[in-house]
């Protein structure tokens, strides 16, 4: 039977990976996009995410009291991991970092677990520039948490993101469960859809169509 990590990679490739022309949050363009929330908010995907992240935390000996990250990419990862940890009898509590302090109520930026002192793991879904991950690291440290480790599901390996996160996280380590190339390669294993188009052009561009199911689409837009 495939491990939870292998199953998670397969699900990310199936549900979260898309080819096409996309503008990223950084403003850069890309021929692919990875929306991890389509996997982490899937019932099976949430289970696999919690199992895989928790295994990584234990395997690296991070001894964390809590896990958290910047809303909203980190939200489903935090909840899934916390629930699985409780089921295993070694609870790791969850917290979420707001992008800005609330303008009402207690005005806090850290929601959920707030006990100090505490060792925490910072998580994110996709790391490109690393900006959201670094925001969470800085907010957690400012609150008084000790960073045990930093983890993202998928690293795009571009825009200098790794160096930026590693500098902010130090001396805590930064790890990625998968790279975008891992997910792309797994996506490619599924193979193309049935090919029926012969000489048609893609409905989205002028490239030759490779399939007409459900519409005329080229290699880039077939996903």
Are 39 and 131 contacting, i.e. CB atoms less than 8 angstroms apart? no
Using CB atoms within 10 A of its CB, is residue 119 exposed (0-12), middle (13-18) or buried (19+)? middle
Kindly give the pairing relationship between strand 119-127 and strand 110-112: unpaired
For the chain, the farthest-separated pair of C-alpha atoms sits apart, in whole angstroms, at: 66
As averages over each run of 10 residues, the pLDDT of the chain (223 residues) reads 92 94 80 95 98 98 98 97 97 95 70 97 96 97 97 92 97 98 92 55 79 72 69
pLDDT value of position 28:
76
pLDDT value of position 217:
76
pLDDT value of position 206:
77
Residue 172's closest CA among 202, 147, 197? 147
What's the rounded Cα separation, in Å, for the pair 66 and 148? 10
Chosen CATH of 4-189 out of 3.30.43.10, 3.40.50.2020, 3.90.280.10, 2.60.320.10:
3.40.50.2020
Residue 178's closest CA among 1, 7, 24? 7
Residue that has been written with the tokens 């879904």 in this structure: 125
CA 179 to chain CA centroid, Å, is 10
Q: What is the DSSP letter of 117?
A: S
pLDDT value of position 197:
43
* Contacts of residue 123, Cβ cutoff 8 Å, sequence gap at least 6: 53, 67, 68, 69, 74, 77, 78, 81, 150, 151, 152, 153
Q: In which residue ranges of the chain is CATH 3.40.50.2020 found?
A: 4-189
pLDDT value of position 186:
96
């Amino acid at each position: 039977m495939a491990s939870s990590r292998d199953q998670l990679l397969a699900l990310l490739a199936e549900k979260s990976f898309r080819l096409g022309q996309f503008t990223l949050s950084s403003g850069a363009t890309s021929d692919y996009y990875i929306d991890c929330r389509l996997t982490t908010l899937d019932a099976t995907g949430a289970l696999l995410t919690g199992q895989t992240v928790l295994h990584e935390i234990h395997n690296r000996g991070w001894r964390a009291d809590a896990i958290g990250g910047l809303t909203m990419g980190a939200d489903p990862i935090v909840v899934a991991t916390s629930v699985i940890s409780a089921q295993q009898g070694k609870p790791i509590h969850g917290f979420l970092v707001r992008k800005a302090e609330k303008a009402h109520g207690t005005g806090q930026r850290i929601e959920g677990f707030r006990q100090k002192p505490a060792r925490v793991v910072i998580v994110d879904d996709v790391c490109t520039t690393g900006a959201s991950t670094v925001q969470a690291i800085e907010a957690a440290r400012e609150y008084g948490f000790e960073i045990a480790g930093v983890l993202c599901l998928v690293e795009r390996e571009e825009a200098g993101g790794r160096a930026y996160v590693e500098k902010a996280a130090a001396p805590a380590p930064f790890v990625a469960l998968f790279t975008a190339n891992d997910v792309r390669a797994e996506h490619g294993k599924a193979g193309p859809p049935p090919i029926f188009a012969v000489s048609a052009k893609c409905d989205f561009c002028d490239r030759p169509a490779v399939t007409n199911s459900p519409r005329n689409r080229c290699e880039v837009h077939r996903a």
